[in-house]
Amino acid sequence: MSAAETSVTARLESMNAGAKAALLTLIVGATCLMLEPFAPWLIKWPAAWVLPATDWVGDGLSWVLEAVKPFARACSDILSYPMDWANVALNGTPWPIVIGIVTAAGWYLGGLPMAALGFLGLSFVLSSGYWFQSMNTLALVAVSVPLAITLGGTLGILANEIPRIKSALQTVLDVMQTVPTFAYLTPILVLFGFGPVVGLIASAIYAAPPMARNVLLGLERIEPEIKEAAIMSGGTRLQQLFQIEIPSASTQIMVGVNQCLMAALSMVIIAAVIGGFDDIGWEVLLTMRKAQFGQALLAGLVIVAFAIIIDRMSGALATERKRYAPFVSWVILGVSVLFTVLLWKYLPNPNDLRFLDPVAETVDQGLSTFTVANGASLDSFKNNAMFYGLLPLRIGLDNAVLPFTWGFSWTAAMSGWLFAGAGVVGLLLAWRGHVTAGLILVILTGILETGIAELPWPFVLCAVAALGWVASGRKLALVSVLLLATILLAGLWERSLLSLYLSGAAVFACALFGGLIGLLCAVSPMAWRVMRPVCDMLQTIPLFVFLIPVLMVFQIGEFSAFLAICAYAIVPMIRYTRHGLINTPDEMIESAISSGATEWQILRDIRAPYAAPSILLGLNQTILYAFAMLVIAALIGTTGLGQSIYLALGKADVGLGISAGAAMAILAMIADRIVQGFAEERRQVLGL
């Protein structure tokens, strides 16, 4: 062994895990790039290697579905009773009394501000002309939420009682949250039959996980003393659980209920896609189909009004604050009943009250005026974003740089120079001691030159394994590779890379701009006061509504889809960044101030590192949201997995739908675990 080789081995041994993983990835990537002309199968997974897995899934499922169908139909029959009762109760109650009840509950929970919120919110619903549809929607939520709470609560308690199944159950919860509902719409339609019950079940599936997670968290956080006291006082395990532990975890459980309500409300629109029910989501779909932005926004805002009322009231229920005099609530209720009885003959049909139609009309006209006035400048903005951002990211500089776009053609020599330049900078970084950073720079340059949609699959597998290994360990690396391999074998690889590209670009933009907005909101309370309702609205309004203005301005295409995804996925990044930055312990800041640090230094050296785990959690949520939005973005016309899910829905192809949904969940869950791994590491470094 020569001296040079010895020194290479010595240096390799001295490298840290990250650098080793990056080096391996780089070698695999470079080899693939060099072999690409001789072995095209490195880029494009050959059709001959695809297993007819989607057909197997379809056949297997149809068999299972037929077997379970009688049972499911019975369930659906049973569920239709409470659904009908809720419907009759909500639609049968005269509207002044419904408003009175909500206002009275608002007073009891939060005094005047909450009562005003309830009153104004429902008055808005009343004047929108969608009262009956809204009550139908509320009936759906009123039945699906108890169902989700029971399901989620049971899962949470099970996970707490039987530690062996905890991690398996958590995976189940992840699957319930990440597989898009559209993917399993066909099978649940077959199982439960047509009608609102299907929407009810879909929304219960989606809303149960937050409940389960919070129940588990609450039960785990109970002080050991309390548990011991419960054991000492005798009683069966069930008594301990229901009489001592669950009551003492009630605050956390109420947070779960709150989250569960919000999740159920966000699924209202999915229930409408199936139909069978004249609800507010159906109105959104109808107006959206006619490209009537004003009316669609109005119908969407009705859902937002409900979401805000429900969120604030159930949030107040979760905190143990003082309650306000029930006397006033009774008075409010009494007034509303009196009002109804006295004016019974004059009460208008709530659906004839359409005070807000002119407003909707104006909004619609405003959108037209805006589009016409700014068409040219917005077009050039879009073109620049496409030419210099999205296109190179998707198909690589080697294909995206053309005389029409950049003004010249990309040549092999340019690739050479690009790699040489990246190599030099990378070496420089390595020489300064940042070996990993140098290697990653070269890898990223390679990705940009090739384009995400055209990355060789061995490189992707290797890069994901490397990330998983560094973030968490061998197990994650192995599981990730196995799961990705199933996507390859199912023949969904190309579509998955397209989805990965679109959501990746969106996550990057959200991380950047969301982080900056979060920072701004942390520094200035005024900015937060403006951003908070915007965040609330973006998260609860059916996103279909925003497709119209985005399309009006930017037309069908990737850029519109990209913007639509960003609009939804940026919210958690803003929230968590702000939350992390303002929650730095006071004593740390005080000691920094006393040692003479400037405001900026405190932010950079104290707040930012301390906020890192929270920001990473925000990033994690942003990734999950971005994947969730892919299905909605497919309505604009993207070509990734989202489109496959619609294709499957149109063909009633159970296998394709489930497989595409599973592929989406796999990508989201791998990204989630990797980011969580890094977050855990940071938390340990900070000693949290």
Partner 1 sequence: MIRTLFAVFTTCALTASVHAADMGAKDEPIKLAVNEWTGQHVSTHVAGAMLEAAGYDVEYVTAGYMNMYQAIADGEIHGAMEIWSSNVSEDYAKKVEAGGVVELGDLGLDAKEGIAYPAHVADLCPGLPALEALRECAMKFATADTIPKGRLIDYPADWGTPGADRMSGFDLPYKAVPAGSEGALITELRAATEKKSPLLIVFWQPHWAMSAYDVKFVDLPVGNDECFEDPKWGSNPEATHDCDFAPSRIFKAGWSGMEEKWPAAFEILSNYELSVEEQQPMMGAVDVDGGKVEEVVAAWMADNEAKWKPIVDAATK
Chain positions contacting partner 1, by CB under 8 A: 185-186, 189-190, 193-195, 272-278, 282, 285-286, 288-291, 368, 371-372, 375, 382-383, 386-387, 391, 402, 404-405, 544, 547-548, 551-553, 555-559, 634-639, 643, 646-647, 649-653
Q: Which is nearer to partner 1, 449 or 558 (CB)?
A: 558
Nearest CA among 531, 534, 558 for reference residue 550: 558
Please name which of 587, 562, 588 lies closest in space to residue 640, comparing C-alpha atoms.
Answer: 562
Distance, CA of 623 to CA of 638 (rounded, Å): 18
Q: Which amino acid is at 500?
A: L
Query: Of 542, 520, 544, nearest to 532 (Cα)?
Result: 520
Place of tokens 């419904």: 98
Q: Give the type of residue at 436.
A: T
Q: How far is CA 51 from CA 456, 485, 490, in A?
A: 19, 11, 6
Nearest to 457 by CA among 504, 421, 500, 519: 500
CB of 391 to partner 1, least distance (A): 8
Q: Which helix (H) or strand (E) holds 602?
A: none
Residue (272 or 606) nearer to partner 1, CB: 272
For partner 1, the closer CB: 180 or 580: 180
Least gap, CB of 452 to partner 1 (angstroms): 16
Q: Please report how close the Cβ of residue 635 comes to partner 1 at its closest, in angstroms.
A: 4
Quick one: tokens of 231?
A: 């054991």
Radius of gyration of the chain (CA): 28
Q: In sequence order, what are the residues at sequence separation of 6 or more whose Cβ sits closer than 8 angstroms to the Cβ of residue 5?
A: none
Residue type, 397: L
Q: How far is the CB of 33 from partner 1 (least distance, A)?
A: 27
Compute the C-alpha angle 426/427/429, nearest 5°: 65
**CB closer to partner 1 out of 143 and 553:** 553
Of 147 and 400, nearer to partner 1 (C-beta) is 400
Contact 194, 134 (CB under 8 A): no
For the CB of residue 560, give the shortest distance to partner 1 in the complex, in Å: 9
Question: Alpha carbon of 274 to those of 176, 183, 188, 279, 344: distances in Å?
Answer: 19, 13, 11, 11, 36
Find the shortest distance in angstroms from Cβ 508 to partner 1.
19
Question: Which of residues 199 and 315 has its CB atom nearest to partner 1 in the complex?
Answer: 199
Tell the smallest beta-carbon distance from residue 678 to partner 1 (Å): 35
CB nearer partner 1, residue 484 or residue 564: 564
Of 335 and 649, nearer to partner 1 (C-beta) is 649
Nearer to partner 1, 359 or 425 (CB): 359
- Report the nearest approach of partner 1 to the CB of residue 672 (Å): 27
Closest CB 349 distance from partner 1, rounded Å: 13
Closest approach, Cβ 158 to partner 1, in A, equals 33
Q: Which helix (H) or strand (E) holds 688?
A: none
Neighbours of 378 (CB within 10 A): 16
Cα–Cα nearest to 589, from 575, 601, 580, 577: 601
Minimal distance in Å, beta carbon 74 to partner 1? 14
203 versus 643: smaller Cβ distance to partner 1 = 643
What is the three-state SS of 183-196? HHHHHHHHHHCCCH
Q: What would the 3-class secondary structure string for 449-473 be?
A: HHCHHHCCHHHHHHHHHHHHHHHCC
C-alpha distances (whole Å) from 234 to each of 224, 227, 250, 357 are: 16, 11, 22, 64
Q: Tell me how far the alpha carbon of residue 630 is from its chain's centroid.
A: 10
User: Given the complex with partner 1, which of 31 and 555 has the nearer CB atom?
Assistant: 555
CB of 561: closest distance to partner 1 in angstroms? 8
Alpha-carbon dihedral of residues 493, 496, 502, 506, nearest 10 degrees?
-130
Cβ nearer to partner 1, comparing 147 with 288: 288
What SS3 class is residue 43? coil
Cα–Cα distance between 536 and 633 in angstroms, integer? Answer: 20
For the CB of residue 87, give the shortest distance to partner 1 in the complex, in Å.
Answer: 14
Is residue 206 within 8 Å of residue 177, measured between CB atoms?
yes
Nearer to partner 1, 367 or 470 (CB): 367
* Nearest approach, Cβ of residue 49 and partner 1 (Å): 25
CB of 551 to partner 1, least distance (A): 4
Give one word for 438, left, alpha or beta, with left for phi > 0 and alpha for psi -120 to 50.
Answer: alpha
* Shortest separation between residue 491's beta carbon and partner 1, angstroms: 17
Q: Which CB, 60 or 334, lies closer to partner 1? A: 60
DSSP collapsed to 3 states, 211-250: HHHHHHHHHHCCCHHHHHHHHHCCCCHHHHHHHHHHHHCH
Q: Which is nearer to partner 1, 402 or 685 (CB)?
A: 402
CB closer to partner 1, 143 vs 284: 284
First to last CA, the chain: 47
Alpha-carbon gap, residue 157 to 161, rounded angstroms? 6
In the three-class reduction of DSSP (H, G, I as helix; E, B as strand; rest coil), residue 93 is classed as coil
